[in-house]
Structure 1
Amino acid sequence: MHEENSVSDDLKRQAALFYNSTERERVNEVRSSSTTWRFWEKRRLVVSLLAFFGFFNVYALRVNLSVAVVAMTEPVEVELDNGTIIYVPEFDWSSTTKGWVLSSFFYGYLVTQLPGGWLAAKIGGNRMFGIGLGATSLLTLFTPPLAHISTGLLIAVRVVEGLFEGVTYPCIHAVWSRWAPSNERARLATFAFSGSYVGTVVSMPVCSLLAHYTGWPGIFYVFGIVGLVWTTIWWLVVKESPEKDPHITAAELKYIQESRGAIAVDGSQIRHPWRAMLTSGPVWAIVMAHFSENWGFYTLLTFLPTFMQDVFKFQTSATGLLSAVPYLAMAVVLQVSGHMADWMLHMQLMSRTNIRKLFNCGAFLAQTIFMIAAAYSTSIVGCVVCLTIAVGLGGFAWSGFSVNHLDIASPHASVLMGLSNTIATLPGIISPPLAGFIVTDKTAEQWRLVFFISSAIYLLGAIVYGIFCSAERQPWVVEVDCDASFDTDAASVTTARGYDNKAMDNSSEM
């Protein structure tokens, strides 16, 4: 009996060795067939690229009204029944009414931040991201006819658009918690987020051209259709996690599993420690930083075309082109800052916490200075230069606070992003009406006060983040034990706390 067991054990060992050898050869074959320029074979890069275009659409759909409202309220030539030519605006709105129209989006956007993060953790960030953006795109197509019916319906459809788009930022952190290796978080996340600013850069001048050549309704029709096309591609290509992607290579899967730390478990098993999260100093440091950055950004995003028109007397086409310049700088800086932050972390030049503080607080202090300088600029060139530097430097801040959720609590990152973006959405609600209340006579002095408020909030954000920031995994992070599950190619076994993949021990990082 003992001899039979011994023979059986020997056969099992030989079978295991044969399997490991065969599987290792298969992995090496996969790796050798890949080349560095074929980036689509690294599926995490495909996810990041499509997320980039997703955020491109998020901001194109959001900023379109900022340019369209200028065209909607400009005097246009109207011929009366008696042949008299007069010039009247199509929508005769006061500055206060403009403020309510422009801020209406953020009332819906505020509501779905936390629910969006919670749902993303439960059913998958990829699904919620696609649903949110797809529904917003569809509603955008109905904006022109509803605006012609009544201002109230225009406000209502913008509120509903905000409800659907509110899930996007929390959802993408649910995606990164599963797809992003820990030492690539900054570059992958900032590359995706930079799509927001490229979307702003492209959409502002394009909106101006569409308003000039097709009329302002064309703005909503074009970007609504583009958003629906993106939604279809995202839904078909991006999976909830690398374990569920049938096209990922075995080596890349192992690399992601190793470097991201504790494996992402099934969403239904995640339990969020709400009390600990809501009383955590590092969490509120992120919230304050996010609030501060968004205050300055939303103020300019919403009112920069109007500011150019009021102070420097620029018409619709010129305001769209000039207003896009600061966001081009932001898009470029985001690429640099993400790679720089990850490089500093890789070289161990500073601790992760100090890197986050350096990028965030340094950016905020510089933005404080250049916003004040923009307020006192007497020429369009000087003003645009100062605003470009101020907005552009915000790209460094995003390599601080925007990935900090993943640092301190990766399993709960989508909910934490939902929390911080909820508070950070308040500027979108408060700032436009406040600016509309302040700027009643359209003078440079009144606009100067708007810039002073933004500068003071940047400075406060730098102080709070500098004191309370941490990039270390927090003790209240919950890890859930669960049964093992096999990945897509059956080469690896994943669990809640790690993985067992002897077949690929010698495969290298992808």
Structure 2
Amino acid sequence: MAESSATLGKRKCSQDRQVDEKPVCKKGLSLCSTHYGIDFTMHMCNLVTTARSTVINITMVAMVNSTDHWFQFNDSTEGLPGDSFGGPNNAPDSLPAGVPVYNWSAQIQGIIFSSLSYGLIPMMFLSGYLAGRVGTKRVVGVSLFATSLFTIFTPLAAELGLVSLIVTRIAQSIGQGSVLGGQHSLWEKWGPPHERNRLCSISLSGTILGTFTIILLGGMICQTLGWPFAFYILGGIGCVYCLLRFVLVYDDPISHPWINVTEREYIISFLADQIHVSPCKQPLPIKAMLRSLPLWSCVCGFSHQWLMITLIAYTPTYINSVFNINVRGNGFLSALPFLIAWVTGILGGQLADFLLTKNFRLVTVRKVVTFLGNFPSSALLVVLPYITPSYITMTLLILSCGLSSLCQSGIYINVLDIVPRHSSFLMGATRGFAFTAGILTPTVNGFLLDQDPEFGWRNVFLLLFAINLSGLITYLIFGEAVIQDWAKERKLTHL
């Protein structure tokens, strides 16, 4: 034990110096290693989770008579007007016969979109704490299975009425929050600091790929099988994947039964301090957290979520209003920007790690990628309503969505830099705060679109830009990337 403590003392250095330990880093770069296998599994977990939460954004085009008109509260019909998906020429093959359609206004649609955030936000706070105590494997696994079942029941809930649908989505949001908030404690024990940009960007990019996949395939499923099958298929895939995940994912390298001994020692050599002293056994310094400006600067995550939720929830609706095409074509065009964002997100993690090897300060890297993921993306959307040519509209959407994913290597993992000992709780808490945008964004955007049909989109994008700019400025001023004094380990003494 004495030799082990001496070794830990030599290993324990600042994150900026850790990225320069190149002889050790070479072992961690193998994509066949177990911790990259865990990373790929979390990538797929985020893909499935996001696809389930995003599916209604594309099926909404098929579930309602029109996204551009105002109707009564929740009257169901069996037919569909000929102009709903691009005029009479598209009407015969827009939807399979007998698929229910609802009369929901833009404001009601915004409430349905936002209902998935009602339970998600408190569970983002709670799940990070629970994952730190009972393990990510249990928290995420059980929640993933529960949300898959609620996804399968969504079409039935819609048939029972709007209230039933919203209640089902709130129940689903509780599981969604546990999955999204609880997963981050894995990187306390699986992610060496010099690899966290890559690991987190690969894992979080699953959310972007999930959006791309469901928007692309969702349109095809709606037009060939009917929109209810989009929920049935995703729920079934989630149940099967959940069983596989219980077999493949473990909470730390020590408990993993198949990990290579060399890789286990490699990971533990960097993270032994975090594994040896569990953060759950230490009291949370709540007062210090509330006074920490670097922690509060993570409000930028809220502004970026406003951008992302607008893109995810309203890209199909915006394309439908601009291009006036059928649901299959809408799915393809709406999915394309997220494919680019998926690639950009992964490359962004590689770029961040590359800059660190070139002796860039960690805080500089975090702020640069956060700026690139916020400012250009929101500025391009402001221009969108003034553009007429369709190819320019798609180009701006692709650039905006593609650049936005760079934030995965910036603001979203900054908590791991400044409070590693309590990152399990705080990653969930900060993301939970960011996801309050999930309630506000669709509700506010739906109201703006409902009240001002002529300038609704312009107002939506101007508000988005203002919110993003304020959050970005806050982070650029107060953001840091060094362990805060109140978060450092202190030996307890009794007098």
Answer yes or no: same fold by TM over 0.5.
yes
Aligned residues: 440
From 374, 377, 390, the counterpart of 1:367: 377
Q: What does 1:392-431 correspond to in 2, within 5 Å?
A: 392-431=402-441
Quick check: 1:311–1:442 contact (8 Å CA) kept in 2?
Answer: no
Residue 246 of structure 1 pairs with residue 237 of structure 2 = no
Shift of 1:175: 0.5
Quick check: 1:257–1:263 contact (8 Å CA) kept in 2?
Answer: no
- Give the secondary-structure state (helix, strand or coil) at the position aligned to 1:439: helix
Please give the alpha-carbon distance, in whole angstroms, between the structure 2 residues aligned to 1:444 and 1:131: 46
Residue 46 of structure 1 pairs with residue 37 of structure 2 = yes
Residue 72 of structure 1 pairs with residue 72 of structure 2 = no
Letter of the 2:153 partner, please give it: F
Please give the alpha-carbon distance, in whole angstroms, between the structure 1 residues aligned to 2:488 and 2:361: 24
Residue 284 of structure 1 pairs with residue 300 of structure 2 = no
TM-score calculated relative to the size of structure 2? 0.84
Q: What does 1:226-305 correspond to in 2, within 5 Å?
A: 226-260=237-271, 262-264=273-275, 265-266=277-278, 268-286=280-298, 288-305=299-316
From 166, 171, 174, the counterpart of 1:163: 174
**In the alignment, which residue of structure 2 is the partner of 1:384?**
394
Identical aligned residues as a percent = 29
- Give the secondary-structure state (helix, strand or coil) at the position aligned to 1:378: coil
**In the alignment, which residue of structure 1 is the partner of 2:214?**
203
Shift of 1:74: 3.1
Q: What does 1:26-105 correspond to in 2, within 5 Å?
A: 39-40=31-32, 42-74=33-65, 78=79, 90-105=101-116
Quick check: 2:78–2:101 contact (8 Å CA) kept in 1?
Answer: no
Letter of the 2:217 partner, please give it: V
Shift of 1:225: 0.7
- Give the secondary-structure state (helix, strand or coil) at the position aligned to 2:455: helix
- Give the secondary-structure state (helix, strand or coil) at the position aligned to 1:74: coil
**In the alignment, which residue of structure 1 is the partner of 2:326?**
315
Please give the alpha-carbon distance, in whole angstroms, between the structure 1 residues aligned to 2:99 and 2:145: 36
Letter of the 1:381 partner, please give it: Y
Please give the alpha-carbon distance, in whole angstroms, between the structure 1 residues aligned to 2:145 and 2:393: 37
Shift of 1:472: 0.5
Which stretch shifts more, 199-208 or 252-261? 252-261
Please give the alpha-carbon distance, in whole angstroms, between the structure 2 residues aligned to 1:268 and 1:469: 26
Residue 477 of structure 1 pairs with residue 487 of structure 2 = yes
Please give the alpha-carbon distance, in whole angstroms, between the structure 1 residues aligned to 2:247 and 2:490: 30
Shift of 1:447: 0.7
Quick check: 2:99–2:227 contact (8 Å CA) kept in 1?
Answer: no
Quick check: 1:364–1:461 contact (8 Å CA) kept in 2?
Answer: no
Quick check: 1:243–1:253 contact (8 Å CA) kept in 2?
Answer: yes
**In the alignment, which residue of structure 1 is the partner of 2:71?**
none
Change (3 A) 1:190 1:38: closer
Which stretch shifts more, 416-425 or 147-156? 416-425
Shift of 1:89: 7.2
Change (3 A) 1:419 1:38: closer
Please give the alpha-carbon distance, in whole angstroms, between the structure 2 residues aligned to 1:48 and 1:335: 12
Letter of the 2:125 partner, please give it: L
**In the alignment, which residue of structure 2 is the partner of 1:353?**
363
Shift of 1:197: 0.6
Quick check: 2:341–2:401 contact (8 Å CA) kept in 1?
Answer: yes
Quick check: 2:378–2:461 contact (8 Å CA) kept in 1?
Answer: no
Please give the alpha-carbon distance, in whole angstroms, between the structure 2 residues aligned to 1:121 and 1:408: 17
Shift of 1:208: 0.8
**In the alignment, which residue of structure 1 is the partner of 2:443?**
433
Letter of the 1:283 partner, please give it: L
Letter of the 1:419 partner, please give it: A
Letter of the 1:412 partner, please give it: H
- Give the secondary-structure state (helix, strand or coil) at the position aligned to 2:489: coil
**In the alignment, which residue of structure 2 is the partner of 1:121?**
132
Letter of the 1:479 partner, please give it: E
Shift of 1:158: 0.2
TM-score calculated relative to the size of structure 1? 0.82
Shift of 1:168: 2.2
Letter of the 2:337 partner, please give it: P
From 192, 211, 216, the counterpart of 2:203: 192
Quick check: 2:279–2:421 contact (8 Å CA) kept in 1?
Answer: no
Please give the alpha-carbon distance, in whole angstroms, between the structure 2 residues aligned to 1:371 and 1:310: 15
**In the alignment, which residue of structure 1 is the partner of 2:84?**
none
Shift of 1:369: 2.2
Shift of 1:77: 6.6
Quick check: 1:169–1:417 contact (8 Å CA) kept in 2?
Answer: no
Instruction: Note the residue ranges of structure 1 that are not aligned, 5 or more in a row.
Output: 1-34, 80-84, 483-510
Please give the alpha-carbon distance, in whole angstroms, between the structure 1 residues aligned to 2:50 and 2:469: 26
Letter of the 2:134 partner, please give it: I
- Give the secondary-structure state (helix, strand or coil) at the position aligned to 2:419: helix
Q: What does 1:434-449 correspond to in 2, within 5 Å?
A: 434-440=444-450, 443=453, 445-449=455-459
Residues 151-201 of structure 1 show CA distances to partners (whole Å, capped at 9, x for unaligned) of: 111110000100111022322210011100010001000001101111111
Quick check: 2:385–2:457 contact (8 Å CA) kept in 1?
Answer: yes
Shift of 1:371: 1.6
Which stretch shifts more, 156-165 or 97-106? 97-106
Quick check: 1:367–1:458 contact (8 Å CA) kept in 2?
Answer: no
**In the alignment, which residue of structure 2 is the partner of 1:27?**
none
Quick check: 2:79–2:101 contact (8 Å CA) kept in 1?
Answer: no
Residue 139 of structure 1 pairs with residue 130 of structure 2 = no
Quick check: 2:61–2:317 contact (8 Å CA) kept in 1?
Answer: yes
How well do the aligned residues superpose, as a CA RMSD in angstroms? Answer: 2.4
Quick check: 1:56–1:198 contact (8 Å CA) kept in 2?
Answer: yes
Quick check: 2:43–2:202 contact (8 Å CA) kept in 1?
Answer: yes
Please give the alpha-carbon distance, in whole angstroms, between the structure 1 residues aligned to 2:34 and 2:200: 15
Please give the alpha-carbon distance, in whole angstroms, between the structure 1 residues aligned to 2:340 and 2:30: 28
- Give the secondary-structure state (helix, strand or coil) at the position aligned to 2:213: helix
Residues 90-147 of structure 1 show CA distances to partners (whole Å, capped at 9, x for unaligned) of: 2111222111111111111112111111101111123212122221111111111121
Quick check: 1:95–1:436 contact (8 Å CA) kept in 2?
Answer: yes
Shift of 1:315: 2.4
Please give the alpha-carbon distance, in whole angstroms, between the structure 1 residues aligned to 2:353 and 2:462: 33
Shift of 1:439: 1.0
Shift of 1:422: 1.8
Residues 40-99 of structure 1 show CA distances to partners (whole Å, capped at 9, x for unaligned) of: 4x11011000000000011100111111121111377749xxxxx999972111222111
Instruction: Note the residue ranges of structure 2 that are not aligned, 5 or more in a row.
Output: 1-26, 67-76, 81-91
Quick check: 1:375–1:452 contact (8 Å CA) kept in 2?
Answer: no
Please give the alpha-carbon distance, in whole angstroms, between the structure 1 residues aligned to 2:468 and 2:364: 19
Which stretch shifts more, 411-420 or 152-161? 411-420
- Give the secondary-structure state (helix, strand or coil) at the position aligned to 2:483: coil
Which stretch shifts more, 115-124 or 70-79? 70-79
